[in-house]
Amino acid sequence: MRRIDIETKLNESRTWLLAAYANLSEEQLRRPLTKSEHDPTNLWNALDHFAHLALIERNFAQMIRRQLSGHENPVGLLVDEDGHARTRDQIMARVHAMTDEFQLKHHNDSLSDVVALTADARGDTLRLLAELSDTQLADRLEGAPWDDGTLAGVLGANADHGKMHWTWVTEAGLFSDDQ
C-alpha cells in the first residue's frame, strides 16, 4: 500500500467516524451495548468502543517502533517473556484483559475527551507514517496478524478497526428505540 493511500484511508475513516459519533445523543453514547470479552458483567457502550480505538492504534505504533529498534518480539503477543509460544486462547485472554483495563479507565470520559484521545493516537500514527521510508512500509512486522502484516498494512488497519467497532455497536442495538 502506498503512503498516500494509507494516509487517505486513515483520514477518510477518521472523518467518517467523527461524523457518526457527533450525531449520537448522550443516551446513545452511554447505553450499555456489548459484553466484555474479559468480564461478561462489564458492558461496553458506544463511547467505550470509540475510546478503545486509541489503545489499539497506540499499540500498533509501539509495535512498529519496537521492530525498528531491533526488538526480537515487537508484537509481544505470540510468545511470552520466556520465549514460549502462547496459544490463541492465551493471546486473546491477554488482549481482552488489556482492553478492559483501558475501557474501565476511560469509561466516564466525555465525547470531547474521547475525540481528543483518539486524535492524539491518530496523530502519533501519522507522525510515524511520515518517519517511515517506502522500503520500511513494505517490511513485515514480525508476528503481525493484521492486514498483510506489512508496516503499511498494520498502519492502515487502524482505519478498518473503527468501522468494525461501529458495526458491532449498531448491531448491538445502538439505534434501537426499546432500550
Task: Quote the pTM value.
Answer: 0.93
Helix 88-106 to helix 111-131 angle (10° resolution) is: 130
Structural domains in the chain, sorted by start:
3-10+46-171 (1.20.120)
Asked if residues 42 and 49 have their Cβ atoms less than 8 Å apart, the reply is no
Predicted confidence pLDDT, tens digits, the chain (179 residues): 899 999 999 999 999 999 999 999 999 999 999 999 999 999 999 999 999 999 999 999 999 999 999 998 899 888 877 888 888 899 899 999 999 999 999 999 999 999 999 999 999 999 999 999 999 999 999 888 899 999 999 999 999 999 999 999 999 999 987 55
What is the rounded distance in angstroms from the CA atom of residue 117 to the CA atom of residue 136? 27
Report in angstroms the alpha-carbon separations of 94 from 50, 53, 99. Answer: 20, 17, 9
Helix 88-106 to helix 46-68 angle (10° resolution) is: 120
